[in-house]
Chain A
Amino acid sequence: MSEKEIKNLEAIFEARIARDEKIEPKDWMPEKYRQTHIRQISQHAHSEVVGMLPEGNWITRAPSLRRKAALLAKVQDEAGHGLYLYSACETLGISRDELYEQLHSGKAKYSSIFNYPTVTWADMGAIGWLVDGAAIINQVPLCNTSFGPYARAMVRVCKEESFHQRQGYEIMLTLCKGTPEQKAMAQDALNRWWWPSLMMLGPTDAASVHTEQSMKWKLKRKTNDELRQQFIDQTVPQADLLGLTIPDPDLKFNEKTGHYDFGAIDWDEFWQVVKGHGPCNKERMNARVSAWENGAWVRDAAMAYAEKQENKKVAKAS
């Protein structure tokens, strides 16, 4: 194809997106669109799968059977969401195994928040409330993104995720209505998860490299800073309701803007964690890699068995 023809196709393509038309896997798309989508969708999928680990850490220690079942169902949903997203990514011509390879080699990123440790039961509440809360803010607009398989996966994810945040908030609510010890546990969890949750919504607009292109392709409908403001505005009243204090002395409602002003985020910490030096980066990656490696003989056996059965069928038929 000549350069001119490609330019022409690109123009048609951009016009389709501008008209809110969906792009499907077999449609022509610019290589950069494909690559950006592989990167973002797989990063999203990896986050779901790595995100199972900090919460999975508490399944065997959940304090009641009701909580244990809910937590299991939630962590299982995350596996499901990872699966939907990997599937969406695979329509772009890359296999799940290749995507795992990128994760395990450290080439692909996942949400940095999952590199923080879960040290008390209240962390299950804080993650559901804050981390899932921030995730929902990020995800709801993606239900209308331009790439069809991603949008459809997100519709399913958002529908299923609606119980996750409620589950977390209910844990917090129960703790805050409980003994002083329980309430202190809840406050401690909020203290530790608040700032990482704000960071989770991504670097500031000024430092974000992909924003402009992503907005054009509807991979993003709002900037990171807008999403962060939305998250803070909706979360502060929820904290008030719990009787918990958000660990930010500069947090104050601004009558003029109608939004909360908040203190400076420690972006050095954010970049440190993103670059692999957070409290649990190594543990999370080790857990993923060893699950994959320990499962190799199981996956091979299933494949060998399937081939044998297929050969038997063929032999019978001939």
Chain B
Amino acid sequence: MKKNWPLWEVFVRSKNGLEHRHFGSLHAADADMALENARDVYTRRNEGVSIWVVESKYITASNPADNGELFEPAQDKIYRHPTFYDLPDEVKHM
């Protein structure tokens, strides 16, 4: 059985001060090649100053079917947001 080049996810920092952002994916035989391919595919227009690559199979993703229990409980915790608290307009710098 022939093995195909695995899939990698590419994360690019567009400039210092910004986080690495998911840019897309590509195929490569090894990590060095994945980095080089990422450079050639995703930064042709000067889009990046730093690249991360990770083989897609190492990403653990949450299951959308669990979204209810994972994310909905956070929806009613409105006291985590500044607007929850009533203060008079005269209070400054807060």
In the complex, how many angstroms separate the beta carbon of B19 from the nearest chain A beta carbon? 17
B30 contacts A95, C-beta separation under 8 Å: no
Q: A230 near B: Cβ within 8 Å? A: no
Tally chain B residues at the interface, Cβ within 8 Å: 19
Give the interface size bracket for A toward B. Answer: 20 to 34
B30 contacts A84, C-beta separation under 8 Å: no
Q: A83 near B: Cβ within 8 Å? A: yes
Q: Which of A28, A153, A299 makes the CB contact (< 8 A) with B64?
A: A28
Q: A90 near B: Cβ within 8 Å? A: yes
In the complex, how many angstroms separate the beta carbon of A318 from the nearest chain B beta carbon? 20
A302 contacts B33, C-beta separation under 8 Å: yes
Q: B49 near A: Cβ within 8 Å? A: no
Total A-B pairs in contact (CB under 8 Å)? 47
Please name all residues of chain B whose beta carbon is closer than 8 Å to the beta carbon of A3 when the two chains form the complex: none
B64 contacts A26, C-beta separation under 8 Å: yes
In whole angstroms, what is the CA distance A76 to B44 when docked?
10
Please name all residues of chain B whose beta carbon is closer than 8 Å to the beta carbon of A24 when the two chains form the complex: 64
A303 contacts B26, C-beta separation under 8 Å: no
In whole angstroms, what is the CA distance A95 to B29 when docked?
15
Complex: chain B residue closest to A296, CB-CB? B2
Complex: chain A residue closest to B22, CB-CB? A152
B30 contacts A27, C-beta separation under 8 Å: no
B26 contacts A305, C-beta separation under 8 Å: no
Q: B7 near A: Cβ within 8 Å? A: yes
In the complex, how many angstroms separate the beta carbon of B24 from the nearest chain A beta carbon? 6
Q: B14 near A: Cβ within 8 Å? A: no
B25 contacts A90, C-beta separation under 8 Å: yes
Please name all residues of chain A whose beta carbon is closer than 8 Å to the beta carbon of B65 when the two chains form the complex: 28
A302-B26 CB under 8 A given contacts A26-B64, A90-B7, A97-B4:
no
Interface residues of A in 68-85 (CB under 8 A from B): 76-77, 80, 83-84
> What 0/1 pattern do residues 29 to 67 of B give for CB contact below 8 A with A?
110010000000100110000000000000001011100
* A-B pairs with beta carbons under 8 Å apart, 19 shown: A24-B64, A26-B63, A28-B65, A76-B44, A77-B44, A83-B26, A84-B24, A87-B7, A87-B24, A90-B7, A152-B24, A153-B24, A156-B24, A300-B2, A303-B3, A303-B5, A303-B29, A305-B30, A310-B30
Q: Which 10 A-B pairs have the closest CB atoms?
A: A302-B29, A306-B30, A306-B29, A87-B25, A27-B64, A303-B29, A303-B3, A26-B64, A97-B4, A87-B24
